[in-house]
């Protein structure tokens, strides 16, 4: 029971589960780590043992740290067991005592970052009514009198730097700066961190993307910065990570493509329809796709996202790779930092098309033998 992080089922609930397994079998695979510890499915495993069922669906997750195992177990249980508000609140307190950040707690419990702030008494004052003086309590337990008649952002942490930063944002807003006003409101509602808001406020202007390179490339690998209308938790908004582009901006890019070429276009599941529009707008015809299994479950309204799609489109006539250079359509590599794509894809394309001229669009770094275009290279 090393990773049994949620409350045990009552005897009545367990008997109902055991009866269902006896009749229908195990419908949700039991998950283990490489050492045989149960990550998810303690009650299902117990029922199988008592019923003498040895052939049941299971999977083994490898290479996860202790923290990732605990987080994974909590995510699965919160999503499946429909925990009450009180149960989620107690779990939030427990995780905060473990040293987890508000953002991480919000992610695993499936609630807004601002909700976690309200639940935990160490950041009181976030729910004060508008146009009334309030006192903000930092997590150090000290009171910080508000100087403005509006709900100020809670004090996150105890560092003097954070207090100075939020003060600068509020002072700039009081001077009439519309951008600062908007950012101050976003912080107060939990839609932006102090750091990201200050970074935006002090940014003089958006840096335009560099000119697209000239040339006729046969292999195009592209990871467009899709713009989302929502984020599962507001603190995970894409704009907190990198500048995004709307669909029309992406579609109208004049990419440096040869008459006969192949496009490998990254798409998340919610952006599949838009990705196909981009593929067609760039002059390609959709052929097939591959799936990247990130090995770690993320957020999502319908399914908890664990994969991304790599669409394949062809322009003109282009010979398919030799049979010995054709890879499986599903590849697994644990996700890294936000939006970073697995290096294995570059290696696959280099083996599939060793002599073709290649370029990566929206690249994060240059790669030997490839052209590269993007804000970060």
Residues 357 and 249 grouped into a single domain: yes
Contacts of 324 (CB under 8 A, 6+ apart): none
Structural domain includes residue 157: yes
- pLDDT of 78: 62
Domain that holds residue 251: 217-373
CA distance 370 to 217: 10
pTM beyond 0.75 = no
Compute the average pLDDT of residues 109-132: 56
Give the 3-state secondary structure of residue 171: helix
Place of tokens 């440096």: 256
DSSP assignment of 7-40: PPPPHHHHHHHHHHHHHH---S-EEEETTS-EEE
225-247 b/e (C-beta count within 10 Å ≥ 16 → b): bbbeeeebbbbbbeebeeeeeeb
Contacts of 207 (CB under 8 A, 6+ apart): 375
Residues 84 and 144 grouped into a single domain: no
The structure tokens listed for 289 are 């796709």
pLDDT band at 293 (very low <50, low <70, confident <90, very high): very high
**pLDDT tens digits for range 296-348:** 887 777 888 889 999 999 999 999 999 999 999 999 888 776 567 888 999 99
Structural domain includes residue 294: yes
Place of tokens 């039991």: 30
Give the 3-state secondary structure of residue 141: coil
Structural domain includes residue 1: no
pLDDT band at 256 (very low <50, low <70, confident <90, very high): very high
pLDDT band at 29 (very low <50, low <70, confident <90, very high): confident
Please report the beta strands in 34-88, taking only residues with DSSP state E, as ranges in sequence order. Answer: 38-40, 58-61
Are the C-beta atoms of 340 and 308 separated by less than 8 Å?
no
Give the strand pairing for 135-137 and 370-373.
unpaired
**Mean pLDDT, all residues of the chain:** 76
Query: Whose CA is closest to 111, among 83, 70, 69, 130?
Result: 83
To the nearest 10°, report the CA torsion of 275, 277, 281, 286.
70
Report how many helices (DSSP H) and strands (DSSP E) the chain contains, helices first.
12, 12
pLDDT band at 207 (very low <50, low <70, confident <90, very high): low
Structural domain includes residue 211: no
Give the strand pairing for 257-267 and 307-315.
antiparallel
Based on the structure, what is the number of domains in the chain? 3
Residues 59 and 83 grouped into a single domain: yes
pLDDT at 255 over 60: yes
Residues 154 and 296 grouped into a single domain: no
Residues 245 and 341 grouped into a single domain: yes
Residues 129 and 36 grouped into a single domain: no
Residue 174 Cα distances to 154, 170, 179, 182, 254, angstroms:
18, 6, 11, 11, 43
Residues 17 and 75 grouped into a single domain: yes
Residues 271 and 310 grouped into a single domain: yes
């Amino acid at each position: 029971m090393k990773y049994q992080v949620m409350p045990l089922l009552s005897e009545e609930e367990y008997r109902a589960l055991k009866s269902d397994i006896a009749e229908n079998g195990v419908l949700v695979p039991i998950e283990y780590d490489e050492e045989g510890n149960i990550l998810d499915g303690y009650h299902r495993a117990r029922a199988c043992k008592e019923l003498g069922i040895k052939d049941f669906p299971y999977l083994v997750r490898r290479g996860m740290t202790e923290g990732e195992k605990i987080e994974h177990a909590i995510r699965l249980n919160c999503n499946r067991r429909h925990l009450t508000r009180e149960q989620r609140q107690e779990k939030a307190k427990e995780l905060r005592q473990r040293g987890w950040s508000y953002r991480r707690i919000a992610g695993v419990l499936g609630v807004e970052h601002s909700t976690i702030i309200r639940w935990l008494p160490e950041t009181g004052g976030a729910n004060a009514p508008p146009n009334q003086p309030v006192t903000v309590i930092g997590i150090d337990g000290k009171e910080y009198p508000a100087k403005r008649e509006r709900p100020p952002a809670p004090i996150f942490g105890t560092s003097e730097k954070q207090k100075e930063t939020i003060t600068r944002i509020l002072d700039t807003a009081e001077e009439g700066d519309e951008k600062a006003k908007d950012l101050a409101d976003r912080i107060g509602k939990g839609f932006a961190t102090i750091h990201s808001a200050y970074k935006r406020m002090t940014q003089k202007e958006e840096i335009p993307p560099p000119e697209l390179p000239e040339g006729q490339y046969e292999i195009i690998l592209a990871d467009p910065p899709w713009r989302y209308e929502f984020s599962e938790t507001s603190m995970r908004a894409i704009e907190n990570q990198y500048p995004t582009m709307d669909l029309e901006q992406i579609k109208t890019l004049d990419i440096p493509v040869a008459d006969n070429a192949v496009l490998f276009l990254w798409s998340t599941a919610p952006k599949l329809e838009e990705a196909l529009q981009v593929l067609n707008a760039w002059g390609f015809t959709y052929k097939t796709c591959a799936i990247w299994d990130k090995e770690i479950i993320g957020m999502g309204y319908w399914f908890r996202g664990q994969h991304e799609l790599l669409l394949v489109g062809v322009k003109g006539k282009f010979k398919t790779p030799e049979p010995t250079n054709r890879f499986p359509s599903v590849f697994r590599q644990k996700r890294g930092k936000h939006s970073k794509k697995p290096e294995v894809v570059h290696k696959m394309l280099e083996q599939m098309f060793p002599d073709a001229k290649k370029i990566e669009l929206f690249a994060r770094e240059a790669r030997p033998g490839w052209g590269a275009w993007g804000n970060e290279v």
